[in-house]
Amino acid sequence: MFKKVEGIYNVAKQAFKSRGKNPTSGVINTVPIAKSLKERRGHFEDLVKGTDKYTKSLTEEGKIQVKKTVQPAAKKISKIMDKKDTIEKKAKGGRVGLKRGTGLMKKKSDIQKIKETFSPKKSAAKKSTKFGMLSVKAGIDKNPNPTQADRIAGAKMKNKKRFV
């Protein structure tokens, strides 16, 4: 007897405790309104009219079978229209979406800056001139193609670099 009274007491205690709080956790505050109601209704009416035309020549069992397929088809149409409604129509033309410029002088991200500072430096071999231009730089001749003079100029440049 005492346990029954204690159980009733606990239930009443829980009821008063949750009185100030919202007892339901998943309350729906807003329901998104379909943007294309007229279009949805038109598609559904086309579906119904098509099945009505088709079922006139069928028996009762055939009509029942056809009407069973109408509901899944209507659900598919509804899902397709839901996807269509969620796609945003964005503005086009002019400079829409070019808030930060057109990308000619693009700002470097933090990751790019880190890569530049800690990556291995480019070697001097890549910065050197082409073999044919060595004699032109040395002032021996004006021919940009590789010649015997380029060999001589290259050899002299190597000797200077070694002793420096």
Nearest to 147 by CA among 133, 127, 126, 129: 133
pLDDT (0 to 100) of residue 164: 45
pLDDT (0 to 100) of residue 87: 75
Predicted TM-score (pTM) of the model is 0.35
Mean pLDDT of the chain: 76
Query: Please, what is the Cα angle at 130 between 126 and 132, to 5 degrees?
Result: 165
Q: Rounded mean pLDDT of 4-12?
A: 71
Task: Please list, residue by residue across 9-31, b when 16 or more beta carbons sit within 10 angstroms of its beta carbon and e when fewer do.
Answer: eeeeeeeeeeeeeeeeeeeeeee
Q: Provide the sign of the torsion angle of the four alpha carbons 146, 148, 152, 153, taken in this order.
A: negative
User: Over 80: is that where the pLDDT of 72 sits?
Assistant: yes
The string of pLDDT tens digits covering residues 94-149 is 777 777 666 666 778 888 888 888 888 766 555 566 777 888 888 888 888 888 88
pLDDT (0 to 100) of residue 61: 87
